[in-house]
Amino acid sequence: MMMMTTTDPTSDTQETGHQHSDSDLLHRLATPTELAGLHRLLEIRAEQEGLLDVAYRTVDSPVGALLLAATGTGLVRVAYEREDFDAVLETLAARLGPRVLRAPRRLDGAAVQLEEYFAGARTRFDLPLDRTLSNGFRGQVHAYLPQIGYGSTQSYREVAAHLGNPRAVRAVGSACATNPLPIVVPCHRVLRSDGGLGGYLGGTQAKTTLLGLEHAA
């Protein structure tokens, strides 16, 4: 935002009538393309100097735009657009540190593997993961989920039983609903015991799309 309306006891009121055109004039002194180049340099230097708590990028996919975020340890968050990317980034800043920068390079590996997955050419992910956002019983559920193989499904009840806590069906459901790494950690492969789809943090349409993709491949 240009601060053309700065209130200042010494400001020059006779300039007021020109403020809009001045704003136009002065805005032409930096263009978006020039800033894109500078942003890329900033990403590289910030990464070199180890200054980033979280690097992120977005990718397009058959289930809509996805936000990918990584710490120095690994992929820490995959988010659906319906989760609101700005809100997700604010949560990441609060929990992992505010040095959060759009820096796609750290996410190259994740982006490539997701592309391969959506092309039907990858059935499991092989990425360093940062599990910081998964705690307690939910963390146990998230750690278990990759054992449900590509193209197969389990019920919430079965997952609870596998974890030695067969009555924790609802807890498994809420763990799936708060999975910080959807798709990569396959909570979409968990269905209701009666065969119903169950909920999904990316929306039931996304869940159907992912299951359809895995069955078709």
Partner 1 sequence: MNMMQPFEHAVTEHGPTVLRVVRAVLGPGPDADDAWSETFLAALRAWPDLPEDTNVQAWLVRVAHRKAIDVTRGTARRAVPTDLVPDRPSTTGLPESAEPDLWAAVGALPERQRLSLAYHYLGGLRHTETAELIGGTPEAVRRAAADGIRALRRTYAPEGAPR
Q: Which of 16, 45, 82, 205 binds partner 1 (CB under 8 A)?
A: 45
Residues 87-126 that bind partner 1 (CB under 8 A): 89-90, 92-94, 97-102
Q: Name which of 34 and 116 has its Cβ closer to partner 1.
A: 34
Q: Which of 215, 203, 172 lies closest to 66 in space, CA to CA?
A: 203
Piece of 46-54, 105-113, 135-143, 190-198 that binds partner 1 (CB under 8 A)? 46-54
x/- mask, partner 1, residues 53-72, rule CB under 8 A, reads: -x-x----------------
Catalytic residue (choose from 67, 187, 190, 210): 187
Complete DSSP assignment for 146-209: GGS-TT--EEHHHHHHHTT-TT-HHHHHHHHHT-SSTTTS-GGGEE-TTS-----TT-HHHHHH
Known catalytic residue: 176? no
Number of residues interacting with partner 1: please give it, by CB under 8 A.
46
Q: Is the dihedral of CA 153, 206, 93, 102 positive or negative?
A: positive
Q: Is 39 in the site for partner 1 (CB under 8 A)?
A: yes
Stretch of 47-55, 72-80, 160-168, 195-203 lying at the interface with partner 1 (CB under 8 A): 47-55
Displacement of CA 82 from its chain's centroid (Å): 11
83 lines the binding site for partner 1 (CB under 8 A): no
SS3 state of residue 97? coil
Any idea which residue has 């820490």 for tokens?
76
Q: How far is the CB of 136 from partner 1 (least distance, A)?
A: 24
**In the numeric block, which tokens belong to residue 137?**
């019983």
Return the residue matching tokens 């992992």: 96
Beta bridge partners of 75: 70, 129
* Residues 155 and 190 sit within 8 Å (Cβ to Cβ): yes
Helix segments in 63-155, DSSP class H: 85-96, 108-118, 136-144
Question: Cβ 5 to partner 1, closest distance in Å?
Answer: 9
| Sign, CA torsion 60/64/69/75 | negative
Helix (H, G, I), strand (E, B) or coil at 64: coil
Minimum distance from CB of 67 to partner 1 (Å)? 12
Q: Is 84 in the site for partner 1 (CB under 8 A)?
A: no
Question: Is residue 197 a contact point for partner 1 (CB under 8 A)?
Answer: no
Positions annotated as catalytic residues are 187
List of residues contacting partner 1 (CB under 8 A): 1-4, 6, 8, 10-12, 15, 18, 21-22, 24-31, 33-35, 37-39, 41-42, 45-46, 49, 51, 54, 56, 89-90, 92-94, 97-102
